[in-house]
Structure 1
């Protein structure tokens, strides 16, 4: 008997988002039927197509419409003809900031059956989480242009790091590490960025003092990217600023086989508003509409959403189904060396449930 019901604000978005989000919904409904809960999908057409028609990515009251949902399930944003900063600042960033989704969490895991581009690396070598500060840092609106179009043209962009936001993302990373292998790596660049990154280092040291027993190390971002490639087994939880975390959380899935399987969560850990879950792969307009997009990132993202909702057994079963579907070439999509299309891949996941 169904006793638990969840309302999910669903934004398929652009490109392959409109293909993989429905696939993820199918997988959620299959696992929900086995675990005694139901999901209602409130679908919103917020996208670049909507922008082309109305001049807005979402309505003025869009954030308030989804604030009270149990979760937000977002596909991808971006389309040719709409500048990336327009689509991003018109939808994704307002949702992150106005809902205070300050913890961007991106697991990086090499799943059995997937081949890493790193020679000799197996599933035991690549299993970590990138935790990205999601609401301030380098992604600031403070700045502007002067003397546009002249030889004196000048642009400025200000980064913003507050103690409150820096401390809370580090505390989140340390708490996450306590439930894993007890190790946190900090991404910094305090040898070259003279104000914000020394402050980041100071707050990382303060967080380490608040969380005794967790091992720590910090690396400058340039060598850290090299270590991701050379020594991925060194990492458990990696915490970085908005920009550094963004870069590292794309590099991570690349060494784990494909960005097509990369999930993410934008969390309000205090649950004061709906958290948002989105695959990392983007709208991929080059393959949109062909039925070949990899739906696994959307399904893995849905598993993270179910875990956030407290449906741990359903989330674990969905992850097991993902792993089963990736074990065979005929049920993997072509970006993973397989032969399946989107529908074949999601059918394999659903067949593996239960």
Structure 2
């Protein structure tokens, strides 16, 4: 039997509602699968933890987490209590950086029964592969002077190693899908880093002759996400461009509440981390109406990561059959609660056994 030891960090807000829901689903998967079991260890790291201890996680927090097979994260942030730069850099980004989670992947797919804001979404099914460790989100820079003389300098860092790594990941993924890679660039406006990005893309593409390769400027690419999302298969992007495109991908799906994500460690030294795209949603916390699908779909991505793609496919199929029958939370125009949607998914999973 494959035993997976998972660190669960519900975090803030609705994370404390959707993470337990997704764990229930994974436990149902384990019952059905037979050869797969999950052992969850829960950690209270959050803004509430910060208010009590002055830090988002203890000094030895990374040591406590590093030997798990994966981290299952809910949401981080409560800006009314803790500034975002403290909560994010103290927990989420710290985990990404220290555990070398250099790739972020986020799918966007039209789910049956989920109303998209697009008039004709055309059954899109794409995935964005985002560089997750450098690029525009480097911490290199500074501020000088005061008042009207003040200046801020933010440096983008693009290494050949990091750029080639994310591109190869995207091409390898495309080989398993529809064999198309689109690169997000802006080499007509960003003088050094984006021409470098384009050059590395051409070098990498030579090793994947079976994959169709395209490069589009980020502004035009964002427009195409709205007008022709069905044209895309795998999109590879820098840290900032990938961040923007994936939120747009969630929007055209119909709700950020259903969007999943994975932060992947590719060298095996540390655990990868799986988290939905949505935030902590303090406005609906405690009302029992949070959409659990983003967290459950994220659990599906964790199953894929552990080479359980067949059961992951079944789980996504069950999610889509649930939405197709109109069992939706309020963010998607439905009337069902978090627990009701979760229970329906579990019932349908067991019916497939």
Query: Is TM-score (shorter-chain normalized) higher than 0.5?
Result: yes
Aligned match of 1:141: 139
Question: Which residue does 1:259 correspond to in 2?
Answer: 256
Q: Secondary structure at the match of 2:135?
A: coil
Match of 1:340 among 315, 328, 336: 336
Measured on the aligned residues, the alpha-carbon RMSD in Å equals 1.1
| Structure 1 segments (4+ residues) deviating >4 Å | none
1:229-308 superposed matches below 5 A = 229-308=226-305
Name stretches of at least 5 consecutive residues in structure 2 with no aligned partner.
Answer: none
Aligned length in residues: 348
Name which of 167, 172, 187 aligns with 1:170: 167
C-alpha separation in 2, matches of 1:141 and 1:230: 35
Of residues 168-177 and 46-55 in structure 1, the stretch that sits farther from structure 2 once superposed is 46-55
Is the Cα–Cα contact under 8 Å of residues 126 and 232 in structure 2 kept in the other structure?
Answer: yes
- Kept after mapping to 2: 8 A contact 1:293/1:341: yes
Between stretches 113-122 and 92-101, larger displacement belongs to 113-122
CA distance in 2, matches of 1:247, 1:346: 29
Q: Hey, what does 1:131 align to over in structure 2?
A: 129
Equivalent residues in 2 for 1:52-63, closer than 5 Å: 52-63=51-62
Q: Which runs of 5+ in 1 are unaligned?
A: none
Using the alignment, how far apart are the partners of 2:133 and 2:345 within structure 1? 34
CA deviation map 1:4-59 (0-9, x unaligned): 21110110000111110000000000111111122111111111111111111111
Please state whether the residue corresponding to 1:118 is helix, strand or coil: coil
Contact 2:170 / 2:236 at 8 angstroms: preserved in 1?
A: yes
Q: Secondary structure, in 3 states, of the residue corresponding to 1:73?
A: strand
Distance in 2 of aligned mates of 1:310 and 1:184 = 23
Displacement of 1:121 after TM fit?
Answer: 2.4
Distance 2:247 2:172 in 1: 23
Q: Using the alignment, how far apart are the partners of 1:192 and 1:312 within structure 2? A: 40
Distance in 2 (alpha carbons) for counterparts of 1:271 and 1:333: 37
In 2, Cα distance between the equivalents of 1:59 and 1:141? 22
Please state if 1:217 is matched with 2:205: no
Summarize deviations over 1:264-297 as a string: whole Å, max 9, x none: 1111133222110000011111111111100000
The correspondence of residues 1-354 of structure 1 with structure 2, limited to 5 A, is: 3-36=1-34, 37-79=36-78, 80-123=80-123, 126-148=124-146, 150-329=147-326, 331-353=327-349, 354=352
Contact 2:122 2:230 in 1 (8 A): no
Aligned mates of 2:28, 2:122 — CA distance in 1: 30
- Residues 144 and 152 in structure 2, CA contact (< 8 A), matched pair in contact too: yes
Question: Partner of 2:136: helix, strand, or coil?
Answer: coil
CA contact (8 A) 1:132 1:169 kept: yes
Aligned mates of 1:90, 1:96 — CA distance in 2: 11
Per-residue CA deviations over 1:79-116 (Å, capped at 9, x if unaligned) read 02211111111111111111111110101110111121
Asked if 2 retains the 8 angstrom alpha-carbon contact of 1:116 and 1:122, the reply is no
**TM-score under structure 2 length normalisation:** 0.96
Question: 1:32·1:314 contact (CA, 8 Å) conserved in 2?
Answer: no
**1:310 offset after TM fit, Å?**
2.3
